[in-house]
């Protein structure tokens, strides 16, 4: 078991990549807290995953974030791993048609929310080290034609560079910070863009390996960064996109 005795918080843990990661972490021996703002969906995930602790909260609310950390510490006594996975995808539209409110919402969830959780766990990792894994996107690595989701792109690009900044900033405390950048992964969030066979065929054609990703593909990469297999790795940014970013 690669995570035996470790304690992990996974944001956005009620579905998609977060839920798949929670399942894998539990299988590998970790004590896991999953969090999301939807209590019903969170409880459904707990039933599906099994031996997992859940705390509902809104990543946009600092007191909710602090409460997730507090309840995790009360339950397990420490925090070894943070997976910054929570995120939203906006309605696709050109930059000049984006409302400032829409822009701010995406940045608040996808970037400032990651800041809030990272800030909250750092003091509890400084004594014994820890691992932080940021879930960005291949949209944070390069620009894509006809991909009109500028706030999403900005948030994910910023998270890539913050990964490197945090890795350097906290290396002296043996806190490792790494980042995964998935391409198209089949989740609830991407389902509207895969609703027809032609949509699916187009998405597949964008990935040189010949398929879109699964949540489990990403979870396995997150496990690598969370485990001692990557004990000498920090500040790394890993594309998980079937070769899409290499084009």
- In angstroms, the Cα distances linking 82 to 18, 35, 91, 96 are 11, 11, 28, 35
Q: Is 193 a catalytic residue?
A: no
Distance CA 61, CA 86 (A): 13
Choosing from 152, 170, 193, 224, the catalytic residue is 152
Q: Are 55 and 62 in contact (CB under 8 A)?
A: no
Distance CA 16, CA 85 (A): 10
Classify 29 in phi/psi space as left (phi over 0), alpha (psi -120 to 50) or beta.
left
How many helices (H) and strands (E) are present in the chain, helices listed first? 8, 7
> Which residues are part of the catalytic machinery?
152
């Amino acid at each position: 078991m690669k995570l035996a005795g470790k304690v992990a918080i996974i944001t956005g843990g009620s579905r998609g990549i977060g839920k798949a990661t929670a399942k894998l972490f539990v299988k590998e021996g970790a004590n896991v807290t999953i969090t999301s703002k939807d209590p019903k969906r969170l409880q459904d995930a707990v039933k599906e995953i099994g031996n997992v602790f859940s705390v509902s909260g809104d990543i946009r609310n600092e007191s909710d974030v602090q409460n997730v950390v507090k309840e995790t510490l009360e339950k397990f006594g420490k925090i070894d791993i943070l997976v910054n996975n929570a995120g939203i995808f906006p309605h696709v539209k050109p930059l000049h048609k984006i409302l400032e409110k829409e822009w701010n919402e995406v940045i608040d969830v996808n970037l400032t929310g990651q800041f809030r959780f990272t800030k909250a766990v750092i003091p509890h990792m400084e004594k014994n080290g820890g691992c932080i894994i940021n879930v960005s996107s291949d949209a944070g690595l390069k620009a894509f034609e006809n991909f009109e989701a500028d706030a999403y792109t900005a948030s994910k690009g910023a998270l890539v560079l913050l990964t490197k900044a945090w890795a350097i900033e906290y290396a002296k405390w043996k806190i490792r910070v790494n980042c995964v950048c998935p391409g198209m992964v089949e989740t609830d969030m991407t389902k509207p863009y895969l609703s027809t066979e032609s949509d699916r065929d187009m998405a597949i054609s964008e990935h040189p390996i010949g398929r879109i990703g699964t949540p489990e593909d990403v979870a396995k990469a997150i496990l690598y960064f969370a485990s001692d297999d990557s004990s000498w790795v920090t500040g790394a940014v890993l594309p998980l996109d079937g070769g899409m970013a290499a084009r």
